[in-house]
Amino acid sequence: MITIHFTANFQPLTNMEKPPLRDYTATNAASAPPLLNTLTPSRRTSLNRAFAAVYTCAIVALFYRHTQTLFSSKTLVSFYVTLTLFVSDLILAFIWANGQAFRMRPVYRKEFPENLEKVVKTSDLPGLDVFICTADPYKEPPISVVNTALSVMAYDYPTEKISVYVSDDGGSAFTLFAFMEAARFAAQWLPFCRKNDIAKRNPDEFFATDYKMSSETEDIKEKHTVFSPASQ
């Protein structure tokens, strides 16, 4: 897009006025906004398309065979059997065709979230609403739900623009008590994550790794150890 924009605004110059090509490249690169993501097509694209073409030909040949057999049926039984097979293959072919869309051009993306602040102001970021659903505290331990909520609340995102909603379809008092305890723990955990730029903001995941030892970390770990059994 930058190249097109540059060409559209290009003014013809004489041979004496035209600067070297590297000057244009340097100017173009300097004015380009930082990348937020890159997209690389997969090498399997050609193979996927070739396979889809061959498979499509096989399906067409199968349908042609079914059609011939259907119209040449001499008994009612053979007609209905062939018709049943034809409809079955038609349904399977439809299901297969619907699953080919993402195989026609698979890509790999790489994001650069550190460049977001260079492109968008913090005040212009959209608000986020995150819904966390749970139902049975015996099948879904409250500590797992609580850790999910704490991870979301600790996102590297403006706190005034993110809201977390927990929906407990079971209405369990056990889950409610777990979140009451989590609210006390979050008062220390969230500032700790933002202050130390913690990557793994799930408490269980963080304390299971080789984290940096400090008095603050040990204090939070002790409170997490007390908090965890109360939520299990």
From the annotation, which residues make up the binding site for UDP-alpha-D-glucose?
A: 139-140, 169
d(CA 170, CA 136): 6
Indicate left, alpha or beta for 5 from its phi (over 0: left) and psi (-120 to 50: alpha). alpha
Q: Which amino acid is at 165?
A: Y
d(CA 164, CA 192): 19
Return the number of other C-beta atoms located less than 10 Å from residue 120's C-beta. Answer: 12
d(CA 84, CA 96): 18
Q: Which residues contact 162 (CB under 8 A, 6 or more apart)?
A: 127, 128, 130, 152, 153, 155
Q: Which residues are annotated as a binding site?
A: 139-140, 169
Q: Which two tokens stand for residue 27?
A: 């100017």
Q: Which amino acid is at 169?
A: D
